[in-house]
Amino acid sequence: MCIQGTDGCENPKPCRSQLTVLEYGDYDGDPVTKVVLQPLTGRTHQLRVHCEAVGHPIVGDHTYSLGEDSAPYRMMLHAHLLHLPLEPLPLQAAAPDPFTTPTDPRWRPQRCLRTVEGVVETLLEHRAAEERTEREEKRRQQEERRRQQEERRKRWRGREESEEQRRMCQQWLSEWTDV
């Protein structure tokens, strides 16, 4: 994946991610920002590329920090929530936030803007509203198709068969019955 306009980027495909800042702090003495990233499309390495493109590669991402960030023991990218919009009910799996001082003492928060739980709750509420809207639109389209089909049937029923049509039908039927 690449960002349009960068060297070596051929045939870029559209993709979007949503970023919400949670906290500012430092990790091992370096300034960092804790965020929630939501991919709105699904491209390989999308979140990593988008963070690097705005000048804020993910901590520990050796590849997209151009080799500059190799100190942490892992890339600090974590799936907190997976939401699959299945029917009749969506499937969700959540994991605890590993980026806390008790879990990793090198993370020191300085200013908290939002909690991950609050942001995720808002995202899920928006997702549920979008899914309701999509279902309503689908129902509306199906109802419109049914209405149009019924109108076509009514128009067809009102037509009288011509003598020529009747004769052709009789001829076709007699050919089938003579076999």
How confident is the model over 44-101, as pLDDT tens digits? 788 888 888 888 888 887 777 766 666 677 788 888 888 887 888 889 899 988 888 8
End-to-end Cα spacing for the chain: 65
DSSP class of 74: S
- How much of the chain exceeds pLDDT 90, in percent? 21
Residue 4: per-residue pLDDT: 65
Query: Using CA atoms, how far apart are residues 149 and 119, in angstroms rounded to an integer?
Result: 45
- What's the confidence (pLDDT) of residue 138? 94
Cα-based angle 45, 48, 52 (whole degrees, multiple of 5) = 135
Helix (H, G, I), strand (E, B) or coil at 148: helix
Map residue 109 onto helix, strand or coil. Answer: strand
Among residues 62, 50, 59, 65, which one has the least CA distance to residue 99?
Answer: 59
- pTM of the prediction? 0.66
Out of 8-12, 40-44, 100-104, which region has the weakest mean confidence (pLDDT)? 8-12
